[in-house]
Amino acid sequence: MSREQRGPNEKLGAVLALAGISNAGLARRVNDLGAQRGLTLRYDKTSVARWVSKGMVPQGAAPHLIAAAIGQKLGRPVPLHEIGLADADPAPEVGLAFPRDVGQAVRSATELYRLDLAGRRAGSGGIWQSLAGSFAVSAYATPASRWLITPADSSVAREANTAEGSGAPLKVGHSDVQKLREAAEDARRWDSKYGGGDWRSSMVPECLRVEAAPLLLGAYSDEVGRALFGASAELTRLAGWMAFDTGQQEAAQRYYIQALRLARAAADVPLGGYVLASMSLQATYRGFGDEGVDLAQAAVERNRGLATARTMSFFRLVEARAHARANDAQAAGAALKAAEGWLERAREGDNDPSWLGFYGYDRFAADAAECYRDLKAPRQVRRFTEQALSKPTEEFVRSHGLRLVVSAVAELESGNLDAACEQGVRAVEVAGRISSARTTEYVKDLLHRLEPYGDEPRVVELRERARPLLMAPA
């Protein structure tokens, strides 16, 4: 479906020329982005010609997919007004702002919580379907720089007022905050054990909408407010992490930006560093190693003298992951050495944050193995993977599955096809028990690496075992 504008859309034509995208190329990109979100689109070069020459405006998610497709080619976000589609059906750029004012920060975060769930209840796939494929690593630049310059607001106290739609003032106390922290702890446990797509994990956005949003819009002292912003930041980062794990990169990016802003209001610099580390891991996973380095180093530099040794170790480990993806072996090795050094300084009595409970030598070894996988050093991968797999897996099932795949890759690159397939079978078994698009992508990568050995019986068996996993809906 399309509706007609007055005259040609010269803006769209100009931007397409700037990006070097043909009509057929844009149609193909838009169709592909739609398919990633379960949309069956059949645009072709004639469709694009109508958009440009006749000013036809495609309906639904298409204008936002057009902007996302062009943005991917240009390497930056492309707003609808730049391509002459500002009057298309609105899908707000929700969650991308990093406001300087704390009141505006509350509005930005609560708008994100509410618009997401409003869309899902309507059965439309939520705002994320409209913003399909619109992840842009450049959107992290302003949040990171503003957080570095001013990592804490001067005051976050909020006067008593009428809570939206309730007709009575909502006064927030420490008991309200504690409920959010308990919800975050439960969510972390479910996520590690069952994956970000498990229904128990997916309750986090609902908690943000129903529980956190009204509290943020309520009345609180500066002391209670700091705690409230910290708990909300933890939950928001978790929502981002779960979106990341299920392949919803655009949703994860918006949650991360709001989590970082809330951590600034909480005056919690280590938590802000943790959000930046999460941003870094996402950027690295998406292939933006250099930007991942910048985000991780921002977490490291601001936390010197503030964070615990274990926390600093994790930040340096994330930095190492980014250096490895950027193919800088020397920098990756230095960051790994620093991460191990910080971890050796950690003591049981340290006041580590609760959100760091997952991190120990096994996680260090697992990420070190991934660093050396990216650097194509299979001997080191095998050494660290053996350490990573030595810990019981009841609590961190997804991590165990990822480590098995990395181990399989190392065995394959060392020439041990049977061992690679054996680890691959174990990884597929684990992946089948959780809901994690990221784990499935790791398995797909392993199968791709095994294609040269496609006729080998063990490879055929592994491929057959993985078939139900790869055919499952995203």
Q: In this predicted model, what pLDDT tens digit does every residue of 216-271 receive, in sequence order?
A: 999 999 999 999 999 999 999 999 999 898 888 888 999 999 999 999 999 999 99
| Structural domain count, the chain | 2
Whether 314 is covered by a domain: the verdict is no
Q: Which domain holds residue 14?
A: 2-83
Whether 258 is covered by a domain: the verdict is no
Q: Which of 83, 104, 121 lies at the terminal end of a domain, its last residue?
A: 83
Residue 40, domain CATH = 1.10.260
Whether 385 is covered by a domain: the verdict is yes
Whether 425 is covered by a domain: the verdict is yes
Q: Which residues 6+ apart lie within 8 Å of 242 measured at CB?
A: 187, 191, 196, 197, 201, 202, 204
- The whole-number pLDDT of residue 162 equals 44
Whether 269 is covered by a domain: the verdict is no
- The whole-number pLDDT of residue 246 equals 84
Q: Determine whether 3 is exposed, middle or buried from the number of CB atoms within 10 Å of its CB (0-12, 13-18, 19+).
A: exposed
Q: What is the pLDDT of residues 121-144, one digit of tens each?
A: 333 344 444 444 467 888 999 999
Whether 38 is covered by a domain: the verdict is yes
| Residue 41's pLDDT band (cuts 50, 70, 90) | confident
Range 160-175 average pLDDT:
69
Whether 53 is covered by a domain: the verdict is yes
CA dihedral 330, 336, 258, 352 (to 10 degrees): -160
- The whole-number pLDDT of residue 364 equals 96
On the question of pLDDT at 6 being above 90, the answer is no
- The whole-number pLDDT of residue 435 equals 78
Q: How many Cα atoms within 13 Å fall on the side-chain side of residue 244? A: 22
Q: Which of 83, 115, 145 lies at the terminal end of a domain, its last residue?
A: 83
On the question of pLDDT at 362 being above 80, the answer is yes
Q: Which of 60, 83, 106 lies at the terminal end of a domain, its last residue?
A: 83
Whether 237 is covered by a domain: the verdict is no
